[in-house]
């Protein structure tokens, strides 16, 4: 049985930490389902290049749902 992880991907913008609650500015937010058995750094790199059509992915960050920025 395949288990998918729903990722909420923020891309093309930047984080603004100037206020008490950080905000994501000038970008896109999309949901992507990935097979949990195959998710890796390299799969996330490929997601950025193939799915979101970037020439390369410079940085990756993640946040667990139970944590704050």
With pLDDT > 70 as the criterion, what percentage of the chain qualifies?
99
Residues 18-39 have pLDDT tens digits of: 998 888 899 999 999 999 998 8
- Average model confidence (pLDDT) across the chain: 89
Count of CB atoms within 10 A of residue 44's CB?
Answer: 16
Which segments of the chain does DSSP mark as H helices, in order? 41-46
Residue bearing tokens 């994501």: 24
Its pTM stands at 0.74
Give the pLDDT band of residue 69 (cuts 50, 70, 90). Answer: low
Has residue 63 got a pLDDT over 90?
no
């Amino acid at each position: 049985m395949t288990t998918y992880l729903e990722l909420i991907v923020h891309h093309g913008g930047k984080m603004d930490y100037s206020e008490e609650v950080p905000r994501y500015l000038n970008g896109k937010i999309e949901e992507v389902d990935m097979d949990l058995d195959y998710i890796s750094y390299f799969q996330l790199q490929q997601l950025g290049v193939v799915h979101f059509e970037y020439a390369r992915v410079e940085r990756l960050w993640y946040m667990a749902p139970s944590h704050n920025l």
